[in-house]
Structures are given as structure tokens and as C-alpha cells.
Amino acid sequence: MPSDLPLKVKIGPSILNSDLSCLADECNSLIKNGADYLHLDVMDGHFVPNLTFGAPVVKSLRKHVERSVLFDMHMMVAEPEKWIQDMANAGADQYVFHYEASKDPANCIRLVKESGMKVGMAVKPKTDVTLVDEYADMVDLVLIMTVEPGFGGQKFMVDMMPKVAHLRQKFPKLEVEVDGGVSPKNVDQCFTAGANQIVCGSAITQNSDPAGVIKQLKTIADDAFKF
């Protein structure tokens, strides 16, 4: 359920582009450098062609990252209902599944809530955002993809911004997240449209000054986010 508290801008680096050989250190460094939460991309090789990691890696990370740090799970998986309890048991905090992957989104939402995690719903670029309207009051967050999920290095799709604007106008208190090709060069468009949570991958993790990039993103938000 959307909160009645004022919306806050939050920056959540995607850890997928980090040095996977020392992932716990990378996660803790990102938090130290100003990240508000961590975005963990889970790909199963079915819903998307690529394969990343599952609950065992999340469980290992949880042992080395402060429990107060939110693990935002972007579940790019088929049959997302199957992995809910495993992720909850591993220490995940927020379970964001794809509208396109579930045969019964309302039931998936219910199962995530029953597990104790927050619940989010993600939509691909070609999905009509109005299809999630009926679920907006049931979830904590809606994620708008600005690239096709499952592939790195894609260009930010500015034509997804009307989706963000639709959600912000219709559901003023909803947490709206944007993920895909976001950088300081285009993040103002996300904030202006109404997104308040930004996933940023290589623009942060591949930069020699990640703290400076995160600070820059938040400075841009001060001017562009007016909701």
C-alpha cells in the first residue's frame, strides 16, 4: 500500500555491474558512498535470456551487509511465485516481480505480503502501464523499465517517461522506480516525470567516484523532483 508519508528521492545502485568477486565489499562501499538501498537483479534464463544469481547469494550477502540496508529484488523470472519464500528466507526486503511473468498478479502480491517482504510490480517497455492501475493500491512500488530487461548497455528510453507521469498523476503517493540506462545525463527527465526511486548501474559502479555520482543524482533531484 502506498504510504501517506512524503515521498523521498532514493538512489539504489544495481550491484550487477559491480566486481562480483568481492560483492559484499562492493555493497558496503556503495552504502558508505551514499546509496539509499541496493538493487539486486535476479535473472533466470527463461523470462529473460541471461542468468545471474539466486537466493543463496542473497543469503550470503545478507550476512555481511547491515540488516537496515534494503535489498530491492528485481525478479526477472518466470513464475515469480515460486521464488518468494526462498528470497524472504534469504533476507530480501522488497520483491519486485514482472506483471508479464505472473498469471495471477493479485495472488503474487498476496504471497509476497504474507512472506513479510514489501512488494513491487515491474513493467517492460512494451507493456501498457494502465494494466497495473488496478494493482497500484496493493503494492508498495511500481518499476518502469527504461530498457528491455535482461540486457546490459542499452540506451535509456526517454519515451517511457509518460508511463512515469501517468502513475505519479493518478497515484500521488506511490513509490515509482525507474531502471535502465539512467545516468546524470538523463535522470532529470525521470525526476521531472515523477519518479522518486532511481536504479543506476554502471554510471555509479564503473565510475572512479561513485560517491560523487550519487551526490550529483541527488542534487539534480533537488531541482527536478517537485512532487
**Active-site residue list:** 41, 179
Distance CA 74, CA 143 (A): 9
Cα atoms in the 13 Å half-sphere on the side-chain side of 22: 5
Compute the distance between CA of residue 187 and CA of residue 220 in angstroms, rounded to an integer. 8
Q: What is the CA radius of gyration of the chain?
A: 16
**DSSP symbols for 147-176:** S-TT-SSPPP-GGGHHHHHHHHHH-TT-EE
Backbone dihedral angles phi then psi of residue 120, each to the nearest 5 degrees: -130, 160
Residues 6+ apart with CB under 8 A from 193: 161, 162, 164, 165, 168
- Is residue 161 a contact partner of residue 190, using CB atoms and an 8 Å limit? yes
Candidates 2, 76, 67; CA nearest to 37 is 67
Q: For residue 203, give the H/E element and its range.
A: helix 202-205
**Of 101, 138, 146, whose CA–CA distance to 120 is shortest?**
138
